[in-house]
C-alpha cells in the first residue's frame, strides 16, 4: 500500500511542478525537494489499511515545508517518528523563507500541537500509525514578493483548476488505498475536501472534523488538545 501512496504522491508532484501563478512570486513544492523524508514517511507509516484518515490543508513554513511530512514539526518527525533525510533547496528560494530542513530551529505550532497530542496518547509512533494516517490535501506553498503566505482563495480561480484536479485525484487514490472507516478533516476546509472525495468516488465512511490547531485560531489557543481529544472521543474515533 505504501508503494501506491508513493506513486500517487509522485504523480501529484509531476502535475503541480510545471504550474505557474500570477500572484505568487515564489512557490514551494515540499514533496519534490523534501522527497526523501516524505517518502520515508509514506513507506514506513502508509502500510496496511487504516481505520482513520486525517487530512490537513497545505504545508506550514516550519513544518511540512521543511520536512516533507504533513504538519511536520521537526522534533515530532525526527524524534517520535524516527524520520530524517536530506532536504534539497527549493528553486527559487525566497531569502526570507529559507528551507534548512531538519536544521530549522523554528517550531510549527500546528504540528507541535497535533503530533504532541498523538504522541501523548501513543508514545510509540508505530502504535498510532497502525490505525491512523495523516495526509495533506495540497503540498504547495505560495508566497508573495515579501515572503508573505498566500492562501489558495487569494489566487485566480482559473489558475487553481489544475491544482484542484491534481489534489482531488491524489486524495481519491489515498482514500481508495487506505480504505479508512473514518475520514477526519483537520479543520472545516479539509473536512469539505474529504466529503467531496467520498461523494466523487462513491466511498462510504464516517465523516467528521477536529478543530484546526493553528495559532491563528482563538479557539485552538484556549486548549486545542483537550478540544480535539473530546471531538475524537465523541465521534467514536478514540
List the pLDDT tens digit at each of the 238 positions of the chain: 789 999 999 999 999 999 999 999 999 999 999 999 999 999 999 999 999 999 999 998 999 999 999 999 999 999 999 999 999 999 999 999 999 999 999 999 999 999 999 999 999 999 999 999 999 999 999 999 999 889 888 999 999 999 999 999 999 999 999 999 999 999 999 999 999 999 999 999 999 999 999 998 999 999 999 999 999 999 999 9
* Per-residue pLDDT, 134: 98
What pLDDT score was predicted for residue 1?
74
Burial class (CB in 10 A: 0-12, 13-18, 19+), 216: exposed
**Cβ 156 vs Cβ 23: under 8 Å:** yes
Q: Distance (Å, rounded) from C-alpha 117 to C-alpha 113?
A: 6
Asked if 131 contacts 50 with a C-beta cutoff of 8 angstroms, the reply is yes
Q: Are 43 and 83 in contact (CB under 8 A)?
A: no
Model pLDDT, residue 101: 97
pTM of the model: 0.96
pLDDT at 153: 85
Predicted local confidence at residue 152, as pLDDT: 86
Helix (H) or strand (E) holding 55: strand 52-56
Residue ranges of alpha helices (H) inside 109-223 are 109-121, 125-129, 157-178, 188-201
pLDDT at 117: 98
Say which residues have a Cβ less than 8 Å from residue 163's Cβ, sequence separation at least 6: 16, 19, 138, 140, 152
Q: Which domains does the chain have, with CATH numbers?
A: 2-234 (3.40.470.10)
Cell of 164: 484542484
Q: What is the pLDDT of residue 125?
A: 98
Mention every residue, 6+ apart, whose C-beta is less than 8 A from residue 8. Answer: 170, 173, 174, 177
- Please state, in angstroms and rounded to a whole number, the distance separating the CA atoms of residues 41 and 136: 13
| Distant-in-sequence, close-in-space partners of 7: CB < 8 Å, separation ≥ 6 | none
H/E run at residue 229: helix 224-234
Alpha-carbon torsion 119, 40, 36, 144, what sign?
Answer: negative
Quote the pLDDT of residue 151. 86
- Grid coordinates of 165: 484536479
Amino acid at each position: 500500500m505504501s508503494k501506491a501512496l508513493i506513486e500517487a504522491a509522485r504523480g501529484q508532484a509531476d502535475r503541480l511542478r510545471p504550474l505557474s501563478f500570477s500572484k505568487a512570486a515564489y512557490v514551494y513544492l515540499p514533496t519534490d525537494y523534501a522527497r526523501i523524508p516524505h517518502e520515508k514517511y509514506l513507506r514506513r507509516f502508509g502500510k496496511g489499511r487504516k481505520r482513520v484518515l486525517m487530512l490537513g490543508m497545505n504545508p506550514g513554513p516550519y513544518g511540512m515545508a521543511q520536512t516533507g511530512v504533513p504538519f511536520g514539526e521537526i522534533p515530532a518527525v525526527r524524534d517520535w517518528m524516527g524520520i530524517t533525510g536530506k532536504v534539497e533547496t527549493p528553486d527559487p528560494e525566497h531569502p526570507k523563507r529559507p528551507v534548512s530542513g531538519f536544521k530549522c530551529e523554528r517550531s510549527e505550532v500546528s504540528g507541535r500541537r497535533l503530533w504532541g497530542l498523538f504522541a501523548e496518547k501513543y508514545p510509540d509512533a508505530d502504535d498510532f500509525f497502525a490505525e491512523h494516517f495523516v495526509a495533506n490535501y495540497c503540498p504547495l506553498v505560495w508566497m508573495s514578493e515579501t515572503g508573505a503566505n498566500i492562501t489558495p482563495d487569494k489566487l485566480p480561480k482559473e489558475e487553481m483548476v489544475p491544482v484542484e484536479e491534481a489534489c482531488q485525484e491524489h486524495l481519491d487514490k489515498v482514500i481508495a488505498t487506505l480504505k479508512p472507516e473514518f475520514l477526519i478533516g483537520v479543520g472545516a476546509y479539509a473536512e469539505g475536501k474529504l466529503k467531496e472525495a467520498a461523494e466523487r468516488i462513491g466511498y462510504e465512511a464516517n465523516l467528521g472534523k477536529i478543530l484546526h490547531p493553528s495559532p491563528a485560531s482563538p479557539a485552538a489557543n484556549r486548549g486545542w488538545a483537550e478540544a480535539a481529544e473530546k471531538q475524537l472521543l465523541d465521534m467514536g474515533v478514540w
